Amino acid sequence: MLKNWKKVSLATVLLSGLVLGACGNGSDGEAGSDGEAGSGDVTITYSIWDKNQQPGMEAIAEAFEADNPGIDVKVEVTPWDQYWTKLEAGAKGDSMPDVFWMHSNEIAKYATGGVLMDLSETYANSEVTSLDHFPEELVELYSADDAVYGIPKDYDTIGLWYNKTLFDAAGIAYPDETWTWDTMLEAAQKLNDPDNGVYGILAPLNRQEGYHNFIFQNGGYVLSDDKTESGFRLDETIEAVQWYADLSVKHGVSPTQSQFAENTNVSFFQSGRGAMGFFGSWMTGEMANNEYTAANTDVAPLPKGKQSATVFNGLANSVAASTENEEAALKFVEFLGTEEAMRLQGENGAAIPAYEGTEETFVAAYSQFNMQVYVDQMENAYIKPYSKETARWEDVENNALMPVFDGTKSVADVAEEIVAGVEEVLANEK
């Protein structure tokens, strides 16, 4: 299933502005007096950023509490942008949550200086789970210097969501694994009705759910394997991004970027104003909870270019090195990696579990949609491009591409600018 997963080696990097301490308050919630599980009631915090996954995480917490009556788990939800601000502030002030989600964009930043607890010994000695149950590549993603700083939680891929009602009205067959870029464009042109506010496809300036997938489908790359070069040196990369941008600027089958500034691709799709759109598996709960998309839409594989490809990513569970509730936190993060916890995650529709053989729970949780698409696409998955300073080079790429998506420049016009800016960031990471 995972033959095309790209291996990543992480190097440690200083956490900018971080002041480390040997101990401190490791919980935003209420902690026991001595911080030890089994010595009385202990409350540990479990920090996440997705409210759609909260029921699943609370179900896992309740199952853990049933087996560990001396430990209470407080699930805290903080929106994405605020989450990282809060976490960095907590790292500086020794007030991090006990257990929390970690993202591939951030792991290299936090896997240093004793900020995160090494979980390798916990899992090596576990009697209830093992790192062997997770894809090696995903374990490596959250590891550095022979230490494991995050236990795989899930994985995600990107799918082509489509409006069945609009397809039926136009007499167009639903997308499937045979679709190519050209097939998708032809369908989008037939479905396009901008006079009535309906667009054939939704193609905003978006990397993970947008043009990065097209780059890999065209045989290009975003960053070289050694993370020293930008893929915008390649014709394959330039061609793919231009093709994606042209959905709006040349063919007019997608809203413009100024239109997306007023209404997101999600709002377009959930109001029936987009016949197709690219959305990650983490959006499934959002689609299921929306009355319109629940009744009128489904998901298919991404169309092929020179090859089939999707960007994939995966979250992990980490433990603060500064936690005052070490034993309780380690017990909980160990449980989070069990088959029981992973099945609860999938059954509650939170995310595709990373534990081998539990993916079907997520598929079954959303039987109204073709969720198997997301699982099957792991056969052709490329890891979401990242480095130690991902946000910096992403900003370079994004800013340079804005005039392309506005139709005032071509990708070829800005390719050298992207290469220079991205490679400067990469060079300064060393």
**Amino acid at residue number 76:** E
Report the pLDDT value the prediction gives residue 430, as an integer from 0 to 100.
65
Report the pLDDT value the prediction gives residue 222, as an integer from 0 to 100.
98
Report the pLDDT value the prediction gives residue 308, as an integer from 0 to 100.
98
Contact 315, 17 (CB under 8 A): no
Which are the contacts of 229, defined by CB distance < 8 A and separation ≥ 6? 223, 419, 423, 426
Alpha carbons 21 and 183: distance in angstroms, whole number: 57
Alpha carbons 46 and 333: distance in angstroms, whole number: 10
Contact 276, 185 (CB under 8 A): no
Kindly tell me the sign of the dihedral angle through the C-alpha atoms of 404, 410, 413, 415.
positive
Alpha carbons 15 and 91: distance in angstroms, whole number: 9
> Is domain 158-312+385-428 annotated with CATH 3.40.630.10?
no
Q: Which of 412, 415, 404 lies closest to 246 in space, CA to CA?
A: 404
pTM above 0.85, yes or no: yes
Low-confidence ranges of the chain (pLDDT < 50): 1-40
Report the pLDDT value the prediction gives residue 368, as an integer from 0 to 100.
97
Q: Residue 330: what are its φ and ψ, rounded to 5°?
A: -70, -35
Alpha carbons 267 and 220: distance in angstroms, whole number: 31
The tokens describing 104, both together, are: 């591939």
**What's the CATH superfamily of 42-155+313-355?**
Periplasmic binding protein-like II (3.40.190.10)
Alpha helices (H) along 250-369:
257-262, 265-270, 284-289, 291-296, 326-336, 339-347, 359-365
Residues of the chain with CATH 3.40.190.10: 42-155+313-355, 158-312+385-428
Identify the residue whose tokens are 């700083």. Answer: 149
For 349, left (φ over 0), alpha (ψ -120 to 50), or beta? left
Alpha carbons 13 and 107: distance in angstroms, whole number: 10
**Amino acid at residue number 216:** F
**Amino acid at residue number 342:** M
Report the pLDDT value the prediction gives residue 27, as an integer from 0 to 100.
32
Report the pLDDT value the prediction gives residue 172, as an integer from 0 to 100.
98
Alpha carbons 149 and 320: distance in angstroms, whole number: 10
Report the pLDDT value the prediction gives residue 429, as an integer from 0 to 100.
86
The tokens describing 297, both together, are: 């839409």
Length of the chain measured in residues: 430
Alpha carbons 78 and 80: distance in angstroms, whole number: 6
Which are the contacts of 217, defined by CB distance < 8 A and separation ≥ 6? 181, 240, 302, 303, 304, 305, 306, 307, 308, 309
Report the pLDDT value the prediction gives residue 391, as an integer from 0 to 100.
85
